[in-house]
Chains A and B, each alone.
Chain A
């Protein structure tokens, strides 16, 4: 049996690891304490070693300068992204190179965010290996849906540093949907409401035939369950007329009491807590109604983001088939009720909202190890992707069987003078001619009219981990850019892929012959056109003899193009090229001389 693959939720506040126990995903708890969550905290001890998890979080209270609490915020960021708030919390290494957090005032110890995250991953890996009793070399790690390429790469790097092969990064909302088994449905639109300790994310997903596409994401990186606790503290301060200038120690005590009160309110209508303050212990109380009043603003903010995400996804509340609750703070009944009112349906909350993402990652890991679910799994690009080029041939940018995510970039130019736009026709398939491939999308990019061959249009193909292809075209001269997103797998089944492959094998010879002929003709036409233009533009730079020879050989080439022997065309192209060489060389000399004439001798000797 190949080594097991685990699923990891590398969270801002807490991280978890899970595995497939038979058909069911299961969280791997800490073998010592039995705790499922590993606080995403690290701290550097004076002698130089690191501690991770709860002990690190405890130590951070006394040694904030040698601890990092939510490194995920810095993953994949550069120095230019660091703001004043961040600088107030951490010291960053000066000088060149990647962003590094200084962990000890006295030493030069500074770690990059991936290095810090790798300490957390290493601990999760250790946990898994101890519980499973085997090596755990491979993992699926979840990332927020809004993570960009460099944030995703930073996460992969962290995995690699922890000695893990990261087989796949899965979007957190997608993982939550997998945990609920929603991928088994044919088609569904899902809203994932993720209120963690310090961050809020909402995502709208489209699930279709086992594939998940993120339609939109929204959220607030400075809004989380901790804000609810702080709102309760503010209530206590008002109630006990304490004023809001508490010492750090008192505030920490009140926060702990607030958290306790919040938990009590999940089950009861009233909560009473003891506050061991400096002037003696005081009793504070809060009712559910008061809690609601204190936090209504926070709840409203989350719902505003939901509204925005829906509108970005071009969906309305009635389109949503399922709502999933993620994150410990969604246990709060008022949050749950607000979500239910907003989406007009009971949210899915059967799975512990703290565990759901990690469990989903384990489900994805199970799929990758081929054990559990049968679905069209796009580990690789099933059919080549490319564009239509001159002569209606298919030019591949990403080959079949390339592992995803994948990217390709290539420059293209025009074949006709004074084109005012370039049509980008995105195709998929294995045949050689555009008409035999699947058309995925078409768009047009305007360019300033120029001689054929001069414009430079850069095409970028990018397939993300969800199999979404984005194609962008940029005119290098004007920097105009157009792009589209398509789902190449849409409407594809294993059967159609099989048929398309078979067809490409059966017709390979015809296809290549047709393509060779078309391309030879295109090249011949380009050459004929250039030759004519050169003869017209520089009539005095060619001898009569050369002109006659050029015209004659060009006529033979034209005749060859009418036939269907690509080798005959290619041979004649060589003949015309040879006949035109003296003229081409003179034109080249002229233009070099013209260029040099405008320069001073000084410049040349430089």
Chain B
């Protein structure tokens, strides 16, 4: 499979840039993690953090996504979007690795 990386939508870029203040250290960004647990077996976790050794960083227009090597296995090819409308507010991950997901959207299976 070709390297697909992570893509960021315009709204996601804007949201990350508003979360990471200007003048923050270069390596700061949104960390996306895959952890065991949740109703469908795996869950996403997001946090503001800094790049650490071994992490992969994807950047678009100054917005950075930080992913550790282990989580990247299950995030490769993901498209990150941010929605803020009447129905929902938050980051959405379009993850091609996901075979099943649950109603809450935070948990998935591969």
A residues apposed to B, CB below 8 Å = 393-396, 399, 401, 430, 432, 501, 504-505, 508-509, 512, 515-516, 519-520, 566-567, 570-571
Contacts and interface: CB of A to CB of B under 8 A. Distances in A.
Interface string B55-72: 000000000000001100
B49 A520 contact: no
Contacts of B36: 393-396, 432, 512, 515-516, 519
B69 A515 contact: no
A430 B68 CA distance: 12
Contact of A509 (B35, B41, B73, B100): B73
A512 B69 contact: no
A67 B40 CA distance: 61
Contacts of A519: 36-37, 41
A567 B42 CA distance: 12
A396 B37 CA distance: 9
Contacts, number: 48
Contact of A508 (B33, B40, B45, B73): B73
A570 B109 contact: yes
A396 B42 CA distance: 13
A536 B69 CA distance: 48
A527 to B, nearest CB: 12
B100 A567 contact: yes
Nearest to A507: B70
B4 interface: no
A512 B49 contact: no
B99 A567 contact: yes
A519 B43 CA distance: 13
A516 B110 contact: yes
A570 B41 CA distance: 10
A395 B41 CA distance: 12
B73 A515 contact: no
A570 B74 contact: no
A432 B33 CA distance: 14
A388 to B, nearest CB: 12
B110 A508 contact: no
Given A512-B73, A512-B110, A567-B109, A520 B41 contact: yes
Interface in B11-35: 33, 35
A508 B97 CA distance: 15
B103 interface: no
A509 B70 CA distance: 8
A512 B73 CA distance: 10
A501 to B, nearest CB: 7
A504 B36 CA distance: 13
Given A393-B36, A570-B100, A515 B70 contact: no
Nearest to B53: A501
B54 A501 contact: yes
Nearest to B31: A401
B109 A566 contact: yes
B109 A516 contact: yes
Given A512-B36, A519-B36, A430 B41 contact: no
A271 B60 CA distance: 77
Contact of B70 (A393, A505, A520, A570): A505
Contacts of B45: 399
Highest count of chain B CB atoms <10 Å: which of A394, A401, A520: A401
A401 B40 CA distance: 26
Name the 9 nearest CB pairs between A and B, nearest first.
Answer: A508-B70, A516-B41, A505-B69, A515-B36, A432-B36, A508-B73, A519-B41, A505-B70, A567-B99
23 contacts: A393-B36, A395-B37, A396-B36, A399-B35, A401-B49, A401-B52, A430-B70, A505-B54, A505-B70, A508-B73, A512-B36, A512-B42, A512-B74, A512-B110, A515-B41, A516-B36, A516-B41, A519-B36, A519-B37, A566-B109, A570-B40, A570-B41, A570-B109
Contacts of B110: 512, 516
Contacts of A504: 70
A528 to B, nearest CB: 17
Interface string B61-89: 00000000110011000000000000000
A470 to B, nearest CB: 23
A496 to B, nearest CB: 16
A1 to B, nearest CB: 15
A226 to B, nearest CB: 47
A399 B35 CA distance: 10
A570 B102 CA distance: 11
Contacts of A515: 36, 41
Contacts of B69: 505, 508
Contacts of B73: 508-509, 512
Nearest to A396: B35
A394 B52 CA distance: 23
A401 B52 CA distance: 9
A399 B33 CA distance: 10
Nearest to A384: B35
A504 B54 CA distance: 12
B100 to A, nearest CB: 6
Contacts of A512: 36, 42, 73-74, 110
A387 B8 CA distance: 35
Given A396-B36, A432-B36, 17 more contacts: A393-B36, A395-B36, A395-B37, A401-B49, A508-B69, A509-B73, A512-B110, A516-B36, A516-B109, A519-B36, A519-B37, A519-B41, A520-B41, A566-B109, A567-B109, A570-B41, A570-B100
A409 to B, nearest CB: 16
Contacts of B33: 399
Contacts of A501: 54
Nearest to A395: B37
A268 to B, nearest CB: 59
Contacts of B49: 401
A523 to B, nearest CB: 9
B34 to A, nearest CB: 8
A231 to B, nearest CB: 56
